[in-house]
Amino acid sequence: MHYHIILTKECNLNCSYCGGGSDSPPKEIQYSISDLKSFLSRDEAPAIEFYGGEPLLRIETMKKIMDAVPGRYVIQTNGLFLDRIEPQYLKKFHSILVSIDGKKDVTDRNRGEGVYDRVMRNIKLIRQNGFSGDLVARMTVPQGTDIYENVLHLAECGAFDHIHWQLGFEMFWEGAEPGLEEWIQSYNTDISLLVGWWIEEMERTHHVPGIVPFTGVMNSLLNGTQSRLRCGSGIDFFAVMPDGRISACPVSIDFDFSVVGSISDTPVSLCNRVLVGEPCISCDIFHICGGRCLFVNHAQDMLRKNGYALICSTVRHLAQELEAAAPLIRELIDSRVIEKDALYYPEFNNGCEIIP
- Which residues are at the interface with ligand SF4 (CB under 6 A)? 231, 233, 249-251, 279-280, 283, 285-286, 289, 291-295, 312, 315-316, 353
Residue 156 burial (CB count, 10 A): 10
**Identity of the residue, 88 or 226, whose beta carbon is nearer to ligand SF4 in the bound complex:** 226
Q: Cβ of residue 291: shortest distance to ligand SF4, in angstroms?
A: 5
Report in angstroms the alpha-carbon separations of 9 from 5, 254, 256, 292: 11, 12, 18, 25
Q: Cβ of residue 186: shortest distance to ligand SF4, in angstroms?
A: 20
Q: Cβ of residue 62: shortest distance to ligand SF4, in angstroms?
A: 20
The DSSP symbol for 140 reads E
The DSSP symbol for 197 reads H
Q: Cβ of residue 356: shortest distance to ligand SF4, in angstroms?
A: 9
Q: Cβ of residue 84: shortest distance to ligand SF4, in angstroms?
A: 26
CB neighbours of 347 closer than 8 A, spacing ≥ 6?
A: none
Q: Cβ of residue 354: shortest distance to ligand SF4, in angstroms?
A: 9
**Identity of the residue, 312 or 326, whose beta carbon is nearer to ligand SF4 in the bound complex:** 312
Q: Cβ of residue 49: shortest distance to ligand SF4, in angstroms?
A: 11
User: CA 213 to CA 129: how far, in whole Å?
Assistant: 29
User: CA 96 to CA 132: how far, in whole Å?
Assistant: 10
Strand order from edge to edge, sheet including 134-141: 162-167, 134-141, 93-99, 72-77, 47-51, 2-6, 237-240, 245-247, 259-262
**Identity of the residue, 271 or 285, whose beta carbon is nearer to ligand SF4 in the bound complex:** 285
C-alpha triplet 50, 56, 59: angle, nearest 5°: 95
**Identity of the residue, 284 or 334, whose beta carbon is nearer to ligand SF4 in the bound complex:** 284
**Identity of the residue, 213 or 332, whose beta carbon is nearer to ligand SF4 in the bound complex:** 213
**Identity of the residue, 75 or 294, whose beta carbon is nearer to ligand SF4 in the bound complex:** 294
User: CA 297 to CA 234: how far, in whole Å?
Assistant: 13
Q: Cβ of residue 224: shortest distance to ligand SF4, in angstroms?
A: 18
**Identity of the residue, 47 or 249, whose beta carbon is nearer to ligand SF4 in the bound complex:** 249
CB neighbours of 29 closer than 8 A, spacing ≥ 6?
A: 7, 8, 58, 61, 242
Q: Are residues 345 and 162 in contact, defined by beta-carbon separation less than 8 angstroms?
A: yes
Q: Cβ of residue 235: shortest distance to ligand SF4, in angstroms?
A: 10
**Identity of the residue, 109 or 316, whose beta carbon is nearer to ligand SF4 in the bound complex:** 316
**Identity of the residue, 217 or 289, whose beta carbon is nearer to ligand SF4 in the bound complex:** 289
3-state SS assignment for residue 181: helix
For 178, counting Cβ atoms within 10 Å of its Cβ (0-12 exposed, 13-18 middle, 19+ buried), the class is: exposed
Helix (H) or strand (E) holding 262: strand 259-262
